[in-house]
Amino acid sequence: MTLLGLILLPLVGAAVAWIVGRSRPTAPRFVAIVTSVAVFGLAIAALVQVLQSGDHALSATTKGMLLVLDGLSLPLVLLTGLLGVVAVTASWAMTDRPGVHHALLLALEAAVMTVFLAGDLILFYVGWEAVLIPMFFLIGGWGHENRRHAALKFFLYTFVGSVLMLAGLIVVMMTVKSTVIGAPTTAIDLATQSWLFWLVAIGMLVKIPVFPLHTWLPDAHVEAPTAGSIMLAGVLLKMGGYGLMRVAIPYAPAGFAAASPVLGAFGSAGIIYGALMAFAQVDLKRLVAYSSVAHMGFVVLGIATGTALGYAAAMLAMVSHGLVSALLFLLVGSLYERTHTREIARFGGLGARTPRWGGLFVFAALASLGLPGLSGFPGELLAMIQGFGAFGWWMVFAAIGALLGAVYNLSAVRRVVHGERAPEWDALADITRSDTIAAIVLCVGIVVIGVVPGLVLRLTDPAVTLLVRALGGGS
Amino acid sequence: MSFAQIMEFLRPMLSIGWLPAAVACSAAVAGLVADMFDAEKTGVAIVAGGLAIAALVSFGAAIIPVSASTTLITTTFGLVMTGGAFAGLACIVYLTAFLSCGTGLFSLRAGSRASAAALIGAGAAAGQVLLGASDILVLFIALELLALIAYALVASGGNDRSDEAAARYFVQGSVATGLAVLGVAVLVGLSAGASGYVELGTSLASMVPGAALLGGMLLVSALAFKLGAFPFHSWVPDAYETAPAGTAAFLAASVKAAAIGGFTLLLVRLMTIPAFLPLVMAVRIIAAASIVFGNLAALKQTSVGRMLGYSAIAQVGYVLVGAGVSPISTESVAAVFLFAATYAMGAATAFVALEFFATGEPTWDGSIGGLAGIASKHPAVSGALTVALLSMTGIPLTAGFWGKFFVFYGAAQNGLLWLVITGLVGSAISFAYYGRVIRSMYIDVSATGNEVAAEQGSDVAPRVRAWPSLIGAAVVLFAGIAPLIWGLSLVYALFAFR
């Protein structure tokens, strides 16, 4: 019931927000915040239930679908619940058709929950595609200057990836004669696995996005409204990593084993490429967008190692990136709302003018560069250590990428927060109260996971152990 | 009286396979009579009502087992099969024809609306005969009757362009008819006068390939023309663009669904005969070519009707992916029927929504760009059109997803992964043009200013009807979501041959 509620509650909230929004423009945000807080509460209730249950997993079936919650999905469900609240808070001041906006946000949350909770392949795919529709309208309806183009590009790129994934899923379903997600009872033969893995994984690799398939991301992130960017970077990208671990790898373990060096190379390339591109940007939001490519590179790297600790590192890095990128997009969005520009060169000395915003931005940049004690550090370090075990000295490249992470983050801080005060922003107001609250919630999460990463690892541990055991490996 | 008792009471009536056709035909005649007394609107309404009843009767026949001991597929007149999946698809034929007439056909000239509605009523009845035909001559006669009605409906726009399109369609259609006559003559001649599918199959099974294959190729070419598959597609965009949107809904949905049903059944019988095995590959190639060509050609269209025409070519390609499975099973025929039904619902909803825009916004020129910002003015109908377009793309939560999913699943089981991937990538491309319409309605801002158009609209337009498109969208959404809640067996219930 809890699991079904995680999907249905945001849908009901969406309907209510849309209906009340037609007559009273200020009502939808209250509906949305109440709903999203309730969904987060449900997610925590689910966490408690999972911890109490013996086998570290919950499942629920109705006639048409099977829902499962275990260590692999639980951290991401919690993340989705939290970021759902943050996204609503970030669009608190939304005046343009607020009812539809909040309804779309909640519908998006329901679709993402469906992906993370799906226990059978059809429902998984349904949720996977359903995510696109609200996101398309969010980018198109509330985005920035180039939203027309970005909305369609986002939809098409990810849709092409996911239809190939559907072809792969169809092959899986007809080979194992079951749609229930899990390690197949009869293994798919090795020759099939080698191409099947890529066919299934391509949709997920586009979503993550892995380095050569990332081209949709900067446009979509930059043009999306703040709440959309938060959900996109914080949650939607995680669907890719989750899908790899939940679906692609268990069904085609041998294909994955053959593909893992390539995946590892793509991941490392993404780390370096994302960092270099981020460093070259003149648009602050674009910089944050490219930093996502770099961070998700660590996720791919962790997964590519194929070890239990590697998967755990990927989960940790995904949760961390969810919090950090949401914080960064929240701050950039808040700055844009007050200055109507994202051009880095026009800022300067904002730390003195808007101390609260500046302090939070410095904190976010430090979290993004992977400062020990903050959430980015443990996941990315673990991924690299596991990478050394799996790929040897090639990891030097990933390490260089991690170093570059410090470069672009610190240079952004220097150019925006420190430096000469730009006279143009002398009258600039500081970050709004609602944004501050949302940012502080995220900061707390970042610190907690940074100091006690074991919290996440404890949740994921039973699931990744099962996963590795099913693959016939060990760690 | 409980629901079960009511159903028990209705059972004898529902088992009469020709009842829906009779209702539709009588309604068509009654509509013409009403038109004689200058009650044109009433005439259209009578036909629409008759079609609605026919749809309900078919629906009942599809979900109620007529008799526990006998199979659902019953043969009326010895030549037309009804019940089971046939009734399920017939229900869609009647329902989409009902939506088409339900718009009131206001985009036609006053004076020709009731006769067009009567043609649609008679055409829907012919459609039921076509899709259940179990005799090649019955198939041919129903097909020609539908073709004649289609020519007239394309011309019903009453301007030079529609006359020209109809004349072109007629000339090309005559060639296809000639091919079909030759093909039927060869096959019937070879099997010594037998024209029923079963007799045809048994007598052709022992033939040497050659003459029989020639007959089969002629027939397949003619059928490909009627379906509008590449390379016999050139009439489709013209016809869909120039026919008034309300009648185009009938052409694109009801006629297409009936033709798909009838042809699939014929192909299934033919392709189990050794002499015809080369045809299987031909069907697959036509399928892939239609998908590639239809999707790429639709990309560059600016007119919504023309775009839907080209996209229909691609959709026929998906149908042929399902029909090109060999050896074909009842599951794959059911998948094709399901796909035909979901596509027909999507296309009908899209065209009746366009009919609403065409009559409600006289300044709209039929282009995609012309729909800019229309969602803020007509949110309900824009929403219905969006649902229809998403369904035709094959996005989950709409009926179209299940149609495509089962067709591709069947093809993949048959080892046709290349065809599956072609089809899936084609679906992805299709969002580039379907999505452009959605983007235009919701994201783009109208250049002309809506208030001016609104004032003109209220003066000129008759009372336009939003409900047909809303019914269509509701059916599409319900059929898309219900299987997730009540299980996949629901999808098959209507279209399986039990």
| Cα torsion through A42, A47, A49, A54, rounded to 10 | 160
pLDDT (tens digit, 9 = 90+) per residue, A328-365?
999 999 888 888 888 888 887 787 888 889 899 999 99
The CB-side HSE value for A273 (13 A sphere, CA atoms) comes to 16
State whether B396 and A147 contact (CB < 8 Å): no
Both tokens of residue B115? Answer: 């006769």
- The whole-angstrom separation of Cα A108 and Cα A127 is 10
A170 closest CB neighbour out of B395, B408, B487: B408
Which of the residue ranges A233-242, A466-475, B432-441 would you say has the lowest mean pLDDT?
A466-475
Chain B CB contacts of A62 under 8 Å are 485
Q: Which two tokens stand for residue A27?
A: 């009502």
DSSP three-state, residue B80 = strand
Q: Which residues of B touch A163 (CB under 8 A)?
A: 424-425, 427-428
In angstroms, what CA-CA distances link A45 with A40, A58, A74, A462? 9, 12, 11, 19
- Does residue B408 belong to the interface with chain A, where contact is any CB pair within 8 Å? yes
Q: Answer whether A167 sits within 8 Å of B390, measured CB to CB.
A: no
Q: Assess contact for A72 and A467: CB atoms under 8 A.
A: yes
Cα A358 to Cα A292, A407, A431, B357, distances in angstroms = 21, 18, 9, 51
**Structural domain boundaries in chain A:** 267-475
CB nearest to B431's CB, from A147, A155, A170:
A155
Closest alpha carbon within chain A to B428: A160
Nearest to A64 among B395, B405, B483 (CB): B483
pLDDT band at A370 (very low <50, low <70, confident <90, very high): confident
Q: How many CB atoms lie within 10 A of CB B152?
A: 17
Q: Is B18 in the A-facing interface, judged by CB distances under 8 Å?
A: no
Q: Give the distance from CA B408 to its chain's centroid.
A: 19
- Which B residues, 366 through 395, put their C-beta within 8 Å of a C-beta on chain A? 390, 395
The alpha-carbon gap from A165 to the nearest alpha carbon of chain B, in Å, equals: 10
Residue type, B39: A
Residues of B with Cβ-Cβ distance to A129 under 8 angstroms: 395-397, 401
B419: closest chain A residue by CA? A167
Alpha helices in B133-159 (DSSP H): 136-155
Q: How many Å lie between the alpha carbon of B351 and the closest alpha carbon of chain A?
A: 22
Alpha helices (H) in B302-378, listed in sequence order: 304-323, 330-360
Contacts of B413 in chain A (CB under 8 A): 174
Instruction: Assign 3-class secondary structure to B37-73.
Output: CCCHHHHHHHHHHHHHHHHHHHHHHHHCCCCCCCCCC
Pairing type for strands A66-70 and B74-76 reads unpaired
Query: What pLDDT is stored for residue B119 in this prediction?
Result: 92
- Which residues of A fall within a CB distance of 8 Å from B417? 167, 171
List CB contacts (< 8 A) between B397 and chain A.
126, 129-130, 133
Task: List, in order, residues 6 or more apart from A427 with CB less than 8 Å away.
Answer: none
Q: Which of A97, A155, A158, A178 to mutate to test the interface with B (most CBs of B within 10 A)?
A: A155
- Is the Cβ pair B424, A151 closer than 8 Å? no
Nearest chain B residue to A173, by CA: B409
In this structure, what token pair is assigned to residue A48?
């408690």
Which residues sit opposite A57 in a β-bridge? A70
- How high is the pLDDT of residue A364? 93
Mind telling me how many Å the CA of A175 is from chain B's nearest CA?
A: 9
Whole-number Å distance between alpha carbons of B245 and B350: 9
**Which comes out higher in pLDDT, residue A182 or B474?**
B474
B19-68: pLDDT as tens digits: 888 899 999 999 989 888 888 888 899 999 999 999 988 888 777 765 44
Distance from CA of B285 to the nearest CA of A (A): 19
CA distance A271 to chain B (A): 29
pLDDT band at A133 (very low <50, low <70, confident <90, very high): very high
Q: Which residues contact B79 (CB under 8 A, 6 or more apart)?
A: B133, B134, B135, B138, B196
Please judge whether B412 and A170 are an interchain contact, meaning their C-beta atoms are less than 8 angstroms apart: yes
Residue B66 dihedral angles phi and psi, to the nearest 5°: -65, -45
In this prediction the ipTM stands at 0.89
- Using only C-alpha atoms, chain A has a radius of gyration, in whole angstroms, of 21
Is A129's CB within 8 Å of B396's CB? yes
The answer to whether the CB atoms of A171 and B435 lie below 8 A apart is no
Q: Which residues contact B393 (CB under 8 A, 6 or more apart)?
A: B400, B427, B430, B431, B434, B435
- Residues of chain A that touch chain B, judged by Cβ-Cβ distance less than 8 Å: 62-65, 122-123, 125-127, 129-130, 132-133, 136-137, 140-141, 147-148, 151-152, 155-156, 159-160, 163-164, 166-167, 170-171, 173-174
Contact B425 A132 (CB under 8 A): no
CA angle, residues B280, B281, B286, in degrees to nearest 5 = 100
Q: Which residues of B touch A65 (CB under 8 A)?
A: 484-485
For A64, nearest residue in chain B (alpha carbons) = B487
Angle, helices A121-130 vs B399-413, to 10°: value is 130
Residue of B318, B424, B481, B489 to mutate for A, most A C-beta atoms under 10 A: B424
Which residues of chain B have a pLDDT value below 50? 67-71, 450-461
The helix/strand/coil state of B101 is helix
Question: What is the spatial distance between Cα B468 and Cα B250, in angstroms, rounded to a whole number?
Answer: 13
Q: Average the pLDDT over A174-185 and give the result.
A: 78
Nearest to B484 among A64, A129, A167 (CB): A64
Give the nearest partner residue to A141 out of B390, B443, B483, using CB atoms.
B443
The token duo for A153 is 């590009």
pLDDT for A132:
92
Average pLDDT over residues A214-231: 90
Residue of B nearest to A199 (CA): B421
Q: What burial class does residue B455 get, using C-beta atoms within 10 Å of its C-beta: 0-12 exposed, 13-18 middle, 19+ buried?
A: exposed
Predicted pLDDT of residue A467: 80
Give B196-243 pLDDT, tens digit per residue.
887 888 888 777 777 788 888 888 888 889 888 888 888 889 888 888
Show residues of chain A in contact with B412, CB under 8 Å.
167, 170-171, 174
Q: Do B412 and A148 touch (CB under 8 A)?
A: no
Q: Does the distance separating the beta carbons of B484 and A126 come in below 8 Å?
A: yes
The token pair that represents B343 in the structure block: 């596509």
Kindly state the tokens that stand for A142: 């509330």
Tokens 């790898």 belong to residue: A249
The CA radius of gyration of chain B, in Å to the nearest whole number, is: 21
Segment 427-486 of chain B within 8 Å of chain A by CB:
427-429, 431-432, 435-436, 438-439, 442-444, 483-486
What is the distance between the alpha carbons of residues A138 and A331, in angstroms, rounded to a whole number? Answer: 19
User: Does residue A470 carry a pLDDT above 80?
Assistant: no
Handedness of CA B327, B328, B330, B335 (dihedral sign): positive
Kindly determine whether residue A63 and residue B486, on different chains, have CB atoms separated by under 8 Å.
Answer: yes
Contacts of A64 in chain B (CB under 8 A): 483-488
Q: In this structure, what token pair is assigned to residue B26?
A: 């009588």
Of A130, A148, A173, the CB nearest to B444: A148
Closest Cα in chain B, distance from residue A148 (Å): 7
- Strand A57-61 and strand B74-76: the pairing is unpaired
As a whole number of angstroms, the distance between CA A107 and CA A114 comes to 11
∠ CA B286-B288-B293, nearest 5°, is 90
> Cβ contact (<8 Å) for A173 and B424?
no
Does the pLDDT value for residue A474 go beyond 50? no
Q: Tell if the CB–CB gap between A148 and B483 is shorter than 8 Å.
A: no
Domain range summary for chain B, segments of one domain joined by +:
3-495
pLDDT value at position A351? 79
| Candidates B420, B439, B484; nearest CB to A123 | B484
* Chain B interface mutation, best of A100, A108, A163, A200, highest count of B Cβ atoms under 10 Å: A163
Residues listed for chain B: 498
pLDDT of residue B452: 44
Q: Which of B413, B444, B483 sits opposite A174 (nearest CB)?
A: B413
What kind and span of H or E run contains B76? Answer: strand B74-76
- 3-state SS class at B82: strand
DSSP lists the bridge partners of residue B196 as: B135
The full 3-state SS of chain A, as one line of letters, equals CHHHHHHHHHHHHHHHHHHHHCCCCCHHHHHHHHHHHHHHHHHHHHHHHHHHCCCCEEEEECCCCEEEEECCCHHHHHHHHHHHHHHHHHCCCCCCCHHHHHHHHHHHHHHHHHHHHECEHHHHHHHHHHCHHHHHHHHHHHCCCCHHHHHHHHHHHHHHHHHHHHHHHHHHHHHHCCCECCCCCCCCCHHHHHHHHHHHHHHHHHHCCCHHHCCHHHHHHHHCCHHHHHHHHHHHHHHHHHHHHHHHHHHCHHHHHHHHHHHHHHHHHHHHHHHHHHHHCCEHHHHHHHHHHHHHHHHHHHHHHCCHHHHHHHHHHHHHHHHHHHHHHHHHHHHHHHHCCCEHHHCCCHHHHCHHHHHHHHHHHHHHHCCCCCCHHHHHHHHHHHHHHHHHHHHHHHHHHHHHHHHHHHHHHHHHCCCCCCHHHCCCCCCCHHHHHHHHHHHHHHHHHHHCCHHHHHHHHHHHHHHHHHCCCCC
User: Which amino acid is present at A202?
Assistant: I
Distances (CA, A) of A265 to A207, A253, A270, A307, A390: 17, 18, 8, 16, 12
Give the DSSP H or E segment for B25: helix B19-36
3-state secondary structure of B135: strand
Per-residue confidence (pLDDT) for residue B492, from 0 to 100: 64
Contact B230, B317 (CB under 8 A): yes
Cβ B409–A130 below 8 Å, yes or no? no
